[in-house]
């Protein structure tokens, strides 16, 4: 018997135990502070060097690169290592699933990654760490060392399109999996909401793990409200035992 494919859709809630606040969700920090939102809005970022200088300072001070995976991230990687086919679709840009041990090729980052910097001119990708080191050394708005273009994080800013290839892969996984677990996502913004809908429409066993109610709770086979750091490891151990 083939072991069931488990899809994990993760949102900001899985990373709060790692000290990363919800910046982007419907009630996220960025939405509540229009000045902060400008720093992550493509049009303002590209058009104003002062916005870019402030954005680099924000990245430097956030310490996001120093965040470590927590028990929930580790439990996903453990399930994968146990031989169960697992795919992660994440709304997060923190790279913590991979740091916990998930193979990068099994993680789809819907909003990109904050661990990489991309040049808006030549599209060269370089580590965020290197760019932040240049900011530490006194460059206010480090430019691409290859072409002089404006550098930005490899994240999808407000006003930018999501990668259609990544979106297509995520939709294919939502259709093909046998279990779809939405963790720490309000399921109120696209594409996360749509993916949960696709899974439910295809008769996939839907599980929601989130502190607050989501619009998909009534379509879920199981809704878990307990803290993610405890609830997800328990849920995945049970799932691993079932399919073992």
- Nearest residue (CB) to Zn ion, 21 versus 121: 121
Distance CA 59, CA 243 (A): 42
Do the Cβ atoms of 56 and 141 come closer than 8 Å? yes
Q: How far is the CB of 163 from Zn ion (least distance, A)?
A: 19
Closest CA to 172 of 202, 143, 133, 129: 202
- Nearest residue (CB) to Zn ion, 139 versus 201: 139
Asked if 147 touches Zn ion (CB under 5 A), the answer is yes
**Crossing angle between the packed helical segments 49-62 and 128-136, to the nearest 10 degrees:** 100
- Nearest residue (CB) to Zn ion, 122 versus 230: 122
97 is catalytic: no
Residues 148-187 that bind Zn ion (CB under 5 A): 149
Q: Is 114 helix (H, G, I), strand (E, B) or coil?
A: strand
Do the Cβ atoms of 57 and 161 come closer than 8 Å? no
Which x/- pattern over 125-144 shows residues binding Zn ion (rule: CB under 5 A)? -------------------x
Beta-carbon contacts of residue 197 (< 8 Å; ≥ 6 apart): 216
- Considering the candidates 97, 111, 123, 202, report the single residue annotated as catalytic: 111
Among 6, 114, 119, 187, binds Zn ion (CB under 5 A): 119
Among 146, 172, 176, 212, binds Zn ion (CB under 5 A): 146
Which residues are catalytically annotated? 111
Chain contacts with Zn ion (rule: CB under 5 A):
119, 121-122, 124, 144, 146-147, 149
């Amino acid at each position: 018997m083939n072991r069931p494919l488990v899809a994990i859709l993760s949102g900001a809630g899985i990373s709060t135990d790692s000290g990363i606040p919800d910046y982007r969700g419907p009630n996220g920090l960025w939405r509540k502070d229009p000045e902060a939102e400008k720093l992550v809005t493509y049009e303002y970022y590209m058009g104003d060097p002062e916005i870019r200088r402030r954005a680099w300072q924000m990245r430097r001070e956030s310490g996001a690169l120093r965040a470590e995976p927590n028990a929930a991230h580790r439990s996903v990687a453990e399930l994968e290592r146990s031989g169960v086919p697992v795919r992660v679709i994440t709304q997060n840009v923190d790279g913590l699933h991979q740091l916990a041990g998930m193979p990068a090729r099994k993680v789809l980052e819907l909003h990109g990654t904050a661990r990489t910097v991309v040049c808006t001119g030549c599209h060269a990708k370089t580590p965020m760490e290197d760019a932040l080191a240049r900011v530490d050394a006194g460059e206010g708005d480090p430019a691409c060392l290859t072409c002089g273009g404006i550098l930005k994080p490899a994240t999808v800013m407000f006003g930018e399109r999501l990668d259609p290839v990544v979106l297509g892969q995520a939709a294919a996984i939502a259709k093909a999996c046998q279990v779809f677990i939405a963790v720490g996502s309000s399921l109120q913004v696209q594409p996360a909401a749509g993916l949960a809908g696709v899974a439910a429409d295809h008769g996939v066993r839907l599980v929601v793990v989130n502190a607050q109610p989501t619009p998909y709770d009534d379509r879920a086979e199981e809704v878990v409200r307990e803290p993610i750091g405890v609830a997800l490891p328990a849920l995945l151990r049970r799932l691993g035992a079932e399919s073992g």
